[in-house]
């Protein structure tokens, strides 16, 4: 059974019932304010609205939308859909095969969206049309050899790949992104390879640009690492 609540002015906390007749799938709209919306075991849909919100899905196939503000989204368990919207967001998939959206953060590396899929075969998105930086940190999943995917959308032009000074972080931007020494629209994958060039639990195994899969993604990444550091 599905239930709906829209938070009113001054009402910034809602936890869905864990017992009784109102246990089920919840649709919550936080509207304005710094909201905390906490799910239980249903397939919930939460909208944070404006403000710096905290959305927790819990068990179930949840859809969490931070919208505007600096939001924290946590899918926790099962296969969740997590979109921070605009602002500098922290997005955690938890366990399960999650879908996480970055982009829309302010145009500086220090205010980037930070995405952690956790365990499972996760899909990460970055939308170049909305700008901002997406940092992917999947090391927390601890699963060497799983199958995570990065999908870049609205990537109009040639992509440029560059390795960080730590020898393991891979930066991806459009051609010319790095020319002025800044990085304000693109993706940084921490632990993409170890500092010895080997795959780690943070490796992104599959890569798509505007819907088209690259069949030479990992070989090209490893070759680029060898050219830079080998």
Query: What's the pLDDT tens digit per position in 95-143?
Result: 999 999 998 887 778 899 999 999 999 999 999 999 999 999 988 766 7
For residues 156-164, average pLDDT: 95
pLDDT digits (tens, 9 = 90+) for 196-219: 999 999 999 999 999 999 999 999
pTM: 0.96
Is residue 26 pLDDT above 70, yes or no?
A: yes
The answer, yes or no, to whether residue 59 has pLDDT greater than 70, is: yes
pLDDT (0 to 100) of residue 158: 95
pLDDT (tens digit per residue) in 1-21: 799 999 887 889 999 999 999
pLDDT cut 90: percent of the chain above it? 86
Check residues 216 and 180 and name the one with the higher pLDDT: 216
* Res 52: pLDDT: 97
- Beta strand 170-174 pairing with 159-163: antiparallel
Q: Which residues contact 226 (CB under 8 A, 6 or more apart)?
A: 197
Give the model's pLDDT for residue 10. Answer: 80
Q: Which residues pair with 132 in a beta bridge?
A: 185
Residue 172 has pLDDT above 80, yes or no: yes
Nearest CA to 38 out of 48, 210, 180 is that of 48
Q: Please give the pLDDT value at position 35.
A: 96
Q: In whole numbers, what is the pLDDT of the chain averaged over residues?
A: 94
């Amino acid at each position: 059974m599905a239930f709906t609540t829209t938070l009113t002015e001054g009402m910034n906390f809602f936890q869905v019932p864990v017992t009784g007749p109102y246990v089920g799938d919840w649709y919550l709209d936080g509207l304005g304010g710094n909201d905390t919306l906490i799910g239980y075991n249903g397939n919930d849909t939460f909208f944070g609205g404006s403000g710096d919100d905290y959305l927790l899905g819990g068990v179930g196939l949840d859809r969490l939308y931070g919208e505007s503000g600096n939001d924290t989204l946590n899918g926790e368990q099962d296969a969740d859909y997590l979109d921070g919207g605009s602002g500098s967001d922290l997005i955690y998939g938890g366990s399960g095969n999650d879908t996480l959206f970055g982009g829309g953060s302010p145009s500086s590396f220090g205010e980037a969206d930070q995405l952690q899929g956790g365990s499972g075969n996760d899909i990460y998105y970055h939308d170049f049309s909305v700008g901002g930086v997406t940092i992917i940190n999947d090391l927390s999943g601890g699963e060497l050899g799983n199958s995570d995917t990065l999908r870049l959308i609205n990537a109009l032009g040639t992509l440029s790949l560059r390795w960080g000074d730590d020898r393991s972080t891979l930066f991806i931007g459009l051609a010319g992104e790095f020319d002025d020494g800044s990085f304000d629209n693109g993706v940084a994958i921490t632990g993409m390879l170890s500092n010895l060039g080997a795959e780690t639990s943070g490796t992104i195994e599959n890569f798509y640009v505007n819907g088209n899969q690259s069949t030479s993604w990992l070989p090209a990444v490893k070759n680029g690492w060898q050219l830079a550091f080998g």
